[in-house]
Structure 1
Amino acid sequence: MSKLKISGQSEYSSGFETFDDCSIYKINEEQSIIQTVDFFTPIVGDPYTFGQISASNSLSDIYAMGGKPLFALNIVGFPSDKLDLSILSDILQGGIDKCNSANIQILGGHSIKDDVPKYGLAVTGLIDNEKIITNNNANEGDDIILTKPIGSGIIATAIKKNLADEKTYNHAVKVMKDLNKESSGIMQKYNINSCTDVTGFGLLGHLSEMCKGSNVSARIQYKKIPLLTNTENFAKKDIIPGGSKKNFEFLKNIIQFHDSFGLYQKLILSDAQTSGGLLISCNKKDSLNLLMELNKNLDYKASIIGEFTNKKNHSIYCE
């Protein structure tokens, strides 16, 4: 991507050249259009649930930047010669119902014949120019707040291997289905400086992007990071997706882990997430109040997992 030749236009305030979650196109002095796209193969067996999770995941980038989604378009790949079209109908209905929860409609889309099912959304949103929340404005001394537990990549792998019990499955599915809409609305009441959502690059990957863009480092505490049910148990048994291991290999030279860390803990922090939570950089004077309001309104516990520091030799220090 670094070799692509991008033409510069003043209307674009975010694009390939940044690590931001959405593209941003300024339409006037007050507002900008924001846009994002995401799709993937099923991570659960139930088509309707898959549709809900994928739609929630696709909407997440809009919420991470403090925007309001306006509408969405379906992106579909489906093996119509192998699977009954009722499965596709269930996937699409899951997406529709989740978008209804976000108060938007799916206005169309595009489908192709594919070897395996794929589903996601292209989402268009609107944002006030003075309220755009980027992932490159974290300040030294800011607290780091994570709004959802991590471990969905590991749990999804366990689900595919039929190793996850009902409690484990239900916890992971609920977290992945839940929109970041409420968390986004709450955080915008407070003095936050930066935000991103935790998805395919894992907690460490997305946190390292914040550090790089903001020219800071971060210090986090493993014991304060919320985990999905049985994440550690499966990680200790090496039930870990290949993408999470690749994340770790890519990141390991810019992360300093305490000597007490086991490999399974490093891989949990690198675990590729689906529809993960918001990772918020918040001024210390507001962080406890923000955390209290999040935990009052969410069905799972948000946590202050560390803080941003001055720029050091490593991007992230894990204790």
Structure 2
Amino acid sequence: DFSMPIVDDANDFARIAAANAISDVYAMGGQPILAIAILGWPVDKLAPELAARVLDGARAVCAEAGITLAGGHSIDTPEPIFGLAVNGLVREANLKRNDTATPGCRLYLTKPLGVGILSTAQKKGLLTAEHTDLAPRQMRQLNRVGAALGAVPGVRAMTDVTGFGLLGHLGEVCAGSNVVAEIELDRVPILPEAIDYLRQGAVPGGTRRNWQSYGRTVRGYTLTSDHGGRLSPEEARDLLADPQTSGGLLVCVTPDADDTVARVFAEFGLQPQSFGVLRERRTADDAETLIYVR
């Protein structure tokens, strides 16, 4: 996986891109073992010293993940591009997919939503100095808990939440698993600062495209939320469809595994709460609806 910069700092750019790429392995319950760098660099526009900072950032994240950055490939490009091709290992019994969830599973998200909004606020010059590192700090975090969750049989499905936003990736789980999700908006983890910037107009273009793609499969936006002092239906939509970079893991857990999963989360310093449940399709509305927001 690779991308163009969403932050100004070259080192942060690489750390975020590397964490995002490695996440694909963690999201399947695997352990990364090796990475190859993919670098596109505008050699006539940006100094090679900046490219060196990019590679330094990638090495730091790979070291944190306990893997080797074993070389890479580079090319002259009009804009900077960076990412990793990552190899990993997973026991077949521990392999997690996004189409194997079952009715009754409870839903957890390991990182709060809102980094797309904060990144857009940065581009628009709205972000205050105290919030400058808020999104990068979260995006740099590795989803290492995924490898441990792979060993829990009660984790029936797992995926990482990235460009399609929470609703998009949850919708893929529901469609692939032939279930319906009921989520409680007040329990979805959201960065409170993101709400403030959303109300200042910091809405990523990807949010609108996401909603156009899957909005017809979501119901419940007549309701408001107590997040940030009452969210309007439009604000709720823009948060739940906010495109994430290096987002958290969406974890589907059977009720009997809740305690085990809570212990695993705690080992990694995480305390997510369940924000919804999966159920069987049982009504006429369920034929066209994947997610109900309460």
1:287 to 2:269 alignment = no
For 2:159 and 2:190, how far apart are their aligned partners in 1? 18
Shift of 1:235: 1.6
Provide the C-alpha distance between the structure 2 equivalents of 1:248 and 1:80, rounded to a whole number of angstroms. 37
8 Å CA contact 1:145, 1:303 repeated in 2: yes
The aligned amino acid for 1:164 is L
Instruction: Tell me the equivalent position of 1:31.
Output: none
Q: Structure 2: which amino acid aligns with 1:294?
A: F
Cα distance, 1:292 vs structure 2: 5.2
TM-score (norm. length: structure 1): 0.84
Indicate how the Cα distance of structure 1 residues 71 and 225 shifts in structure 2: closer, same or farther if over 3 A, else same. Answer: same
Q: Does 1:317 align with 2:263?
A: no
Counterpart of 1:307? 277
Q: CA RMSD in A?
A: 1.6
Aligned ranges for residues 1-319 of structure 1 at < 5 Å?
Answer: 38-186=1-149, 188-189=151-152, 191-261=154-224, 262-291=233-262, 293-295=264-266, 297-298=268-269, 301-311=271-281, 312-313=286-287, 314-319=289-294
TM-score by length of 2: 0.91
Question: Is contact 2:139-2:245 (8 Å) kept?
Answer: yes
CA distance in structure 1 between the partners assigned to 2:254 and 2:52 by the alignment: 45
Q: How many percent of aligned residue pairs carry the same amino acid?
A: 35
Secondary structure in structure 1 of the residue aligned to 2:245: coil
**Aligned mates of 1:55, 1:85 — CA distance in 2:** 19
| Contact residue 106 and residue 253 of structure 2 kept, 8 A | yes
Cα-to-partner distance string for 1:151-173 (whole Å, 9 max, x where unaligned): 11111111122322244332322
Rounded Cα–Cα distance in structure 2 between residues aligned with 1:258 and 1:241: 20
Sort the Cα spacing of 1:119 and 1:125 in 2 relative to 1 into closer, same or farther, 3 A. same
When residues 234 and 297 of structure 1 are mapped into structure 2, their CA distance, relative to the original with a 3 A threshold, is: same
1:98: how far off?
0.1
- Structure 2 runs not aligned, ≥5 long: 225-232
Change in 2 beyond 3 A, CA 1:274/1:229: same
Q: Is the 8 A contact 1:238 1:264 kept in 2?
A: no
Using the alignment, how far apart are the partners of 1:184 and 1:68 within structure 2? 6
Q: Report how many residues are paired.
A: 281
Give the whole-Å Cα distance in 2 for the aligned partners of 1:317 and 1:233: 25
Q: Which has the higher contact order (CA 8 A, sep 6+)?
A: 2
